[in-house]
Structure 1
Amino acid sequence: MALVNASFLVLDAVDPEKLAVFYTELLDGEQTDISLDQVEIRGADGTRLAFRRDLSATPPLWPRSENNQQVHLDFLVEDLDEAERRIVGLGGRPVETKDLPGPHEERIYADPAGHTFTLRPVPGTAAEQL
């Protein structure tokens, strides 16, 4: 057994309960633990995230350099358009990226607390979506 095992990626938020609902719904997951200051979830694929209460948390203003990105999540999806509809329906928002370098089949979003994340097609599905 490994000496150290990865446990959770933890995102700070003013309202961790609200953020946990967003990611639980997005990842078809379940809440696994909740305490006064932290909520933990597990996605259907086993992804584990936690959301810690920080009343002074401010979202990064990515891609602006004066408030650099603090964390970045990537999610693989079968259908970018369907995933986008779900994200927006849950309270997320697209982040304008038309002038950024990189693959055009990536899409960047912000969750309700302002943390950015990227959707990328599952390898082998990118050509099908163009």
Structure 2
Amino acid sequence: MSLQMKLRAITLDCPDPLALVAFYQQATGLEPHPKSDADFAGLTGEDGLFIGFQRVDDYQAPRWPDRTVPQQIHLDFAVDDLDRAEARLLELGAGKPDHQPNEDRWRVLTDPAGHPFCVVGDKRS
């Protein structure tokens, strides 16, 4: 008998939860959780997924691809146009590391707190 599990939440450490909520809300269109505050903030999706951001004192941003401060986790987002998505995310405050392992298929970006994430060309869109 297999165990059925559904992912409900992902929580990222960061220095400023409300700043990351603003970034990801603009990037994804997800709705801010009404009980978000300066110590813990989140976004909710129609499918019930919750992305949380928790304040951590002395937070150290990942150094991708350098492993001195590992990436810990990264998110992937499907997009229909890599160039447009990249341009919009950079406008919103994302960073773009020099190391791009397969720029034709996906782009590695960093959120304002330094977490690496990818935008991936979605051929189904």
Q: Give the 3 Å change call, closer, same or farther, for CA 5–106 of structure 1 in structure 2.
A: closer
1:23 — aligned with what?
Answer: 24
Distance 2:75 2:49 in 1: 11
- Equivalent pairs counted in the alignment come to 122
Q: Quick check: 1:53 aligned with 2:55?
A: yes
Q: CA deviation at 1:67?
A: 1.9
TM alignment of 1:35-46, pairs within 5 A: 35-43=37-45
Match of 2:74 among 72, 75, 95: 72
5+ long unaligned stretches in structure 1: 126-130
Q: TM-score, normalised to structure 1's length?
A: 0.81
Against the structure 1 CA distance between its residues 109 and 51, is the aligned structure 2 distance closer, same or farther, given a 3 Å change threshold?
Answer: same
- Contact kept in structure 1, 2:8 and 2:49, CA below 8 Å: no
State the one-letter code of the partner of 2:116.
T
Alpha-carbon distance, 1:11 to partner: 0.7
**CA separation in 2, counterparts of 1:94 and 1:45?**
29
What is the aligned-residue identity percentage?
Answer: 32
TM-score by length of 2: 0.84
Write the deviation string for residues 38-71 of structure 1: whole angstroms up to 9, x where unpaired.
1010246654210001121111101112222111
Question: Over aligned residue pairs, what C-alpha RMSD do you find?
Answer: 2.2
